Amino acid sequence: MIKPLQNLLVIDFSQFLSGSLATLRLADMGARVIKIERPGAGDLGRSLYLSDVDVHGENTLFHAINRDKESYAADLKNPQDLDRLRKLLRQADVMVQNFRPGVMERLHLDYQHAIEINPRLVYAVVTGYGNAEIWRDRPGQDLLAQARSGIMWLSGNEGDPPTPMALAIADMLAGHNLCEGILACLVRRGVTGRGGLVETSLLESLLDFQFEVLTTHLNDGYRPPRRSAFRNAHAYLAAPYGVYDTANGHLALAMTHLPTLGSLLGIQELKDITDSAEGFRRRDDIKRLVAIRLREHTTEHWLEILNAADIWCAEVLDWPKLLASEAIRQLQMIQTLSRGNGVEVLTTRCPVRMDGGLLIGSRLAPKVGEHTAAIQQEFRL
């Protein structure tokens, strides 16, 4: 397969997750990504552990998000190293950075200086809060961005405290948005011959993530979202939307015609509903009726009945069940990254298929400065 970004050179100054995810996707699609790191310690993400698990002393998170990249060690306070980096930028297609506002300006590696070095450069920036000056200098960290975005009032049940989503969603969404903007700017460059500036932030990405429910809020008199008090799964959707216990597991039910569901489950009160608005007005009461009934039989029993009627439902799988499923085998979502010294890390692959083929990685993340000498020789730095 000829990957679509083959022969593109990306210079990656980013650390941690958001910028690194954007460059990971570019690498997955064939770009050559050179990661700029501090000599010695490297990217701070190398020491960011999700848990107490490592593989042969290696940080698995860092490998997952920096696979198939090269590492160039440079001291940004060293004038000679900065000169080398500017020479490297002259030959690059894309530059990505996620430093706090003001850092790159002091180094003369901000957009205005970079575009003078290379007018064809696509310069991409991800920050915590974009142009929101009031928060501009606050730490742009995922949980803090979630706290400021309003999203914590959508998860959990009514009466629960603000509930964060248990993933680094701000970082991940911002990384994907940045990658999308970079690709669009590269397409424009193919027409105009000039690069450009691509920017996003954790906060803007979280606001966009909520566009469906925020649009409702903005147009219904600014009523705050109301989470269900029982088995909340979506603050704006009616019963039976949620997750329920069965006799031996859990079952998810999505949007469903309540009288039809009542007939299938044998719940007379649901069969008698004639106004669809009741599903929201009586949301908690209806969900409790469904919960009582579903506990009486196994997940398999209910799936047989509901699937036959084309009701939107699914067994709730944990990771062991998911990874043992036929679906995972068919998707080929798990790949093995390796290094010559026998270190191997299992991780997911890029979720995009290209011309029917998979975009599979091959190399673990590099050691700090592993490619410095070779890059200096190749680019005559």
Q: Is the pLDDT of residue 184 over 80?
A: yes
2 vs 10, more confident: 10
Q: Give Rg (Cα) of the chain.
A: 25
Q: Place 46 in a pLDDT band, splitting at 50, 70 and 90.
A: confident
Instruction: Kindly list the structural domains of the chain, giving each domain's residue range(s) and its CATH number in brackets, ordered by start.
Output: 9-209+358-379 (3.40.50.10540), 250-315 (no CATH)
Q: Which amino acid is at 245?
A: D
Distance separating alpha carbons of residues 164 and 152, to the nearest angstrom: 5
* Whole-number Å distance between alpha carbons of 24 and 17: 10
The fraction of the chain above a pLDDT of 70, given in percent, is 97
Amino acid identity of 272? D
The rounded Cα 112 to chain-centroid distance in angstroms is: 29
Structure confidence by residue, pLDDT tens digits, 130-163: 999 999 999 999 999 999 999 999 999 999 999 9
Q: What's the CA gap between 21 and 171, in Å, rounded?
A: 8
In percent, the amount of the chain with pLDDT more than 90 equals 90
260-295 burial, b at 16+ Cβ within 10 Å, e below that, comes to: ebbebbebeebeebeeeebbeebbeebbebbbebbe
pLDDT tens digit sequence for 204-223 = 999 999 999 999 999 999 99
- Residue at token pair 């310069």: 123
Give the mean pLDDT of 261-273: 97
Mean pLDDT across the chain, nearest whole number?
Answer: 95
* pLDDT at residue 300 in the model: 98
**Mean predicted confidence (pLDDT) in 44-67:** 78
Give the mean pLDDT of 54-58: 66
Average pLDDT for residues 357-363, to the nearest whole number?
Answer: 91
Residue 366 has pLDDT above 80, yes or no: yes
Phi-psi region of 313 (alpha: psi -120 to 50; beta: other; left: phi over 0): beta
- Confidence check: pLDDT of 340 > 80: no
Residue 341 reports pLDDT greater than 80: no
- pLDDT at 55 exceeding the cut of 80: no
CA dist., res. 168 & res. 187, Å (int): 29
Q: What is the pLDDT of residue 59?
A: 78
State mean pLDDT over 239-256.
97
Tokens of 106: 């002091």
Q: Given a cut of 70, is residue 235 above it in pLDDT?
A: yes
Cβ atoms of 236 and 213 within 8 Å: the answer is: yes
Question: What is the per-residue pLDDT for 179?
Answer: 98
The whole-number pLDDT of residue 49 equals 64
Closest-CA residue to 311 (of 290, 292, 280, 297) = 290
Compute the C-alpha angle 59/179/7, nearest 5°: 90
24: which 2 tokens?
Answer: 């990971």
Is 138 exposed, middle or buried, given 0-12, 13-18 or 19+ CB atoms closer than 10 A? middle
Structure tokens at 83: 């000169």
Measured between alpha carbons, how far is 297 from 231 in angstroms, rounded to an integer?
19
Can you give the pLDDT at residue 60? Answer: 84
Alpha helices in the chain (DSSP H): 18-28, 60-66, 79-89, 103-106, 111-117, 142-149, 169-192, 202-209, 211-218, 258-265, 268-271, 278-281, 283-294, 299-308, 319-323, 326-331, 372-379
Least reliable range by pLDDT among 43-47, 104-108, 270-274, 280-284 = 43-47
Residues 232-239 have a mean pLDDT of 95
- Of the listed ranges 11-15, 85-89, 251-255, 362-366, the one predicted with least confidence: 362-366
How high is the pLDDT of residue 344? 86
